[in-house]
Structure 1
Amino acid sequence: MSSRQLVRSWWKQNGHYRWLVQTIASRSALVWMKVVVGSGGLASAVVLVLAAYSMPERQHSGRVTLFVCAAVAALFALRWWLRPVPAVLASILLMGGADIFVTAVALLAGDHIGNASALVLLVAIGLYFTFFHTPRMVVAHAAWSVLSTVVLSIPALRGEHPLAGVAMITAMVIVCGVVLPGLQFGCWLLWTDILSDSLTGVSSRRGLEYYAAQTIYRSSLAHVCVIAVDLDRFKAINDTFGHRIGDRVLTDTAHRLRAAAPDGAVVARTGGEEFAVLALLPPPEARVLAERLRRAVAEAAEPVRITASFGMATLPPGRPRDGGAARILAELLHRADAAMYRAKQQGGNAIAVDEPWLAPASPWSLPKATSDAEPTGA
């Protein structure tokens, strides 16, 4: 992948806020995340109170305004400390509102302390966007931060210290416009590497869980299809030709599956010689995809001839999806694996379908799998 393609992939990512919050919660560290984010509001409240007391008593209206702003900042802190972590959109609105609030308060304060505090808080908000939201949000925050810095620097630019104003603007451009996007890009590269299988280059089991979470939550009105793939008699290949050839077979199979899968599908290696394909397709189209994948694997002749057994399971639209993406994925994988083993019992190089419409009312009860494994010629 060229550097341009890499940057394009980074820019188009949909963010991993929900997954990251779930990961933090699974490590029992969610309370610390809430404390850290809420502390930003508390720090703002303290600075505003100090700024209000530092104003001359004759500026009564200005002091009242700063006290009101301090109360708003304190409410922001309490919201993070006492309420559940917000959803994706609520998180963006909260932190975007904090951007506007910080700039407005700095303009009201109209002093060097207020300006310096605003710049620090804007960088802190930028760090939040960097770790939790998309590159587009980071760039939008950077544009707002630079614009705010320019406005706040106008008195210095027009006064006796124009270089101080230029320094403030330059620092904000570098930090929010270069450093923070670069930091997110580096974290995204590391994250992408963690979610990939080191041997084959397709997604790992963790990567499948991550992309499945995004797919399942964004596609409540679409069929979700999982196809389990298990190479036939792979142990014999390792025993006969050695593990080096076995690794080449796995890598070649992964490339063939990825080439045959539709755009937007996730191809993952879930075990030694086991793969899974996740796609948004109704059962008839998913069945066609499974056949295309079977042929792609069976057509391989280098380094050795190989076939695979396929099992397919789908989640129809309208089924409840509030049990957690990991649980839904585990259910689909379980059903697809059960169907795949039926295909393997037919001699391999076959497809078996777990029909979702035969499932009972509860989406978490396993349906009685159909026995339509179809051996097909190599």
Structure 2
Amino acid sequence: MWWRDRGEYDCVLTTLRSHGALGRVKFLLGSAGLVMGTLCVLTVLIHGEVMARAALTQAWIEAAAAVVWTMRWWAAWPRRAESLAWVALFDADSVANDTLVYNRVFSVLGVFLLVAMAAYVTVFHGSRVLMLHIGWSLLAAAGLALQLLRGVLPADGQGVRGRTDATIGIALVLVIILVIGIMMPLIQFCHWLMRVDSRSDPLTKLLNRRGLDAQLLRLPGGSGPRYVATLDLDRFKAVNDSFGHSFGDEVLTRTARRLAASADAGALVARTGGEEFVVIGHLREDAVTTAERLRSAIETVDVPPIAITASVGLVQLQAGRPFTESTYRDLLRLSDSLMYQAKALGGNTIAVSYLDDERVGCDRAEFGG
């Protein structure tokens, strides 16, 4: 669900990099720091003579942080933890701005700058981070609005007071609710839906190859060794030729449901080709039994008047060995090769390989069916 989504910071970067857009995004984000720094300097130049010492110090610290932001984004892209730290720093600075800046116009502008950070969080982080930022923004807006409603400007060290302006205070909170509290979650939700849709097979609702690649390194840890299984329906072209593609689609849909139900808890199940499926998970039992369970599940798919069978290739990665993206690619290639070996034996057969040493390769294979 969207509200449980933690975001896919690294996947967004991978997408930007694959389209050659990472450099341009880094330039724009770094430029935002220059704009922030310029605003701080202008504040000091225009009102520095009447600013309290604390407000003046805060303005120069903010300007320095903006310069560091620019340099950081124009260098190597920061990791997720550092990105979150920048969000927290920006939010804390916004409250300091509301509290210390003597001019209510600049205080209101400081609150509106939270919209910029909300946009950044919307794109690069998940719904939980966005909800925290929204809550903080509403508190900042409400705090400033309360000062306006009371007729008290943020302290400038000289006790300056202003007239009560309920309209500005209420309007400030409503604008923050509209832009940050409503529009940003709506944008992120639509972005999440499109991301989920792009990673799902429209027919079976399983993951597609893109979705599998995106999810594999986030596979929860388990007590058993990991495995990758590739399954391909036997003689499926004849099904389409004899009964039509609509019937074939129904076969694929029922097969997907049965396969998802029989896979290990927490396993990733994907349709990666026309009649090809991939299962990645942790073994609850031995590899041969797992492969046989997957094969039997497909064999019991009820689509009269035909019988559906599959060839299964499964590769087991020993517990304790790292499951990296490179290892995954090798295991996927090996399981695909084993599946074709099982198919060459006539189909409705399993082929299992065990990886027992530091080398990625087939040490031993077992066939059955």
Report if TM-score (shorter chain) is over 0.5: yes
| Matching residue's letter, 2:198 | I
Post-superposition offset of 1:222: 6.7
2:278 matched to which residue of 1?
276
* Residue pair 1:16, 1:132 contacting (<8 A) in 2 also: yes
Task: State the distance in 2 between where 1:120 and 1:219 align.
Answer: 42
Task: State the distance in 1 between where 2:201 and 2:293 align.
Answer: 23
- 1:354 matched to 2:353? The reply is yes
2:261 matched to which residue of 1?
259
Post-superposition offset of 1:264: 2.3
1:291 matched to which residue of 2?
292
Post-superposition offset of 1:254: 0.9
- 1:190 matched to 2:194? The reply is yes
Q: 1:53 to 1:347 in 2, by over 3 A?
A: same
Q: 1:87 to 1:49 in 2, by over 3 A?
A: same
* Residue pair 1:226, 1:314 contacting (<8 A) in 2 also: yes
* Residue pair 2:287, 2:352 contacting (<8 A) in 1 also: no
Task: State the distance in 1 between where 2:50 and 2:109 align.
Answer: 24
Task: State the distance in 1 between where 2:265 and 2:284 align.
Answer: 17
| Matching residue's letter, 2:20 | S
Task: State the distance in 2 between where 1:144 and 1:286 align.
Answer: 50
Partner SS for 2:366 = coil
Give the stretch that moved more between structures: 170-179 or 126-135: 170-179
* Residue pair 2:2, 2:192 contacting (<8 A) in 1 also: yes
Post-superposition offset of 1:347: 2.1
Q: 1:263 to 1:372 in 2, by over 3 A?
A: closer
Deviations 1:243-263 (A, max 9, x none): 222221111111111121233
Task: State the distance in 2 between where 1:222 and 1:125 align.
Answer: 42
Superposition map of 1:168-207 within 5 A: 168-207=172-211
Give the one of 18, 23, 27 matched to 1:31.
23
Count of aligned residue pairs for this structure pair: 355
| Matching residue's letter, 1:66 | A
Task: State the distance in 2 between where 1:60 and 1:111 align.
Answer: 11
Task: State the distance in 1 between where 2:350 and 2:337 align.
Answer: 12
Post-superposition offset of 1:299: 0.7
- 1:118 matched to 2:117? The reply is no
Deviations 1:315-337 (A, max 9, x none): 34443456xx2x33321210111
Task: State the distance in 2 between where 1:317 and 1:34 align.
Answer: 39
1:90 matched to which residue of 2?
82
Task: State the distance in 2 between where 1:317 and 1:106 align.
Answer: 54
Partner SS for 2:172 = helix
| Matching residue's letter, 1:351 | I
Task: State the distance in 2 between where 1:164 and 1:31 align.
Answer: 40
Task: State the distance in 2 between where 1:247 and 1:285 align.
Answer: 32
* Residue pair 2:283, 2:290 contacting (<8 A) in 1 also: no
Superposition map of 1:145-160 within 5 A: 145-159=137-151, 160=164
Compute the RMSD of aligned alpha carbons: 2.2
1:374 matched to which residue of 2?
368
| Matching residue's letter, 2:298 | V
| Matching residue's letter, 1:190 | M
TM-score, normalised by the number of residues in structure 2: 0.89
Post-superposition offset of 1:56: 4.7
* Residue pair 1:256, 1:296 contacting (<8 A) in 2 also: yes
1:5 matched to which residue of 2?
none
1:240 matched to which residue of 2?
242
Deviations 1:189-212 (A, max 9, x none): 111111111222211111111111
1:50 matched to which residue of 2?
42
* Residue pair 2:291, 2:352 contacting (<8 A) in 1 also: no
Partner SS for 1:143 = helix
Task: State the distance in 1 between where 2:39 and 2:143 align.
Answer: 20
Post-superposition offset of 1:220: 9.8
1:300 matched to which residue of 2?
301
Post-superposition offset of 1:65: 3.7
Post-superposition offset of 1:67: 2.0
Partner SS for 2:203 = coil
- 1:103 matched to 2:107? The reply is no
Partner SS for 1:197 = coil
Task: State the distance in 2 between where 1:298 and 1:369 align.
Answer: 28
- 1:68 matched to 2:61? The reply is yes
Q: 1:315 to 1:94 in 2, by over 3 A?
A: farther
* Residue pair 1:224, 1:316 contacting (<8 A) in 2 also: yes
- 1:210 matched to 2:203? The reply is no
Bigger CA radius of gyration: 2
* Residue pair 1:51, 1:109 contacting (<8 A) in 2 also: no
| Matching residue's letter, 2:211 | G
Deviations 1:86-136 (A, max 9, x none): 222221122122111222133221323322332232111111111111111
1:6 matched to which residue of 2?
none
- 1:344 matched to 2:350? The reply is no
Identity of aligned residues (%): 36
| Matching residue's letter, 2:334 | R
Post-superposition offset of 1:275: 0.5
Task: State the distance in 2 between where 1:54 and 1:286 align.
Answer: 73
* Residue pair 1:39, 1:77 contacting (<8 A) in 2 also: yes
Task: State the distance in 2 between where 1:245 and 1:180 align.
Answer: 43
Q: 1:58 to 1:88 in 2, by over 3 A?
A: closer
Give the stretch that moved more between structures: 189-198 or 222-231: 222-231
Q: 1:338 to 1:233 in 2, by over 3 A?
A: same
- 1:139 matched to 2:131? The reply is yes
* Residue pair 2:227, 2:316 contacting (<8 A) in 1 also: yes
Partner SS for 1:284 = coil
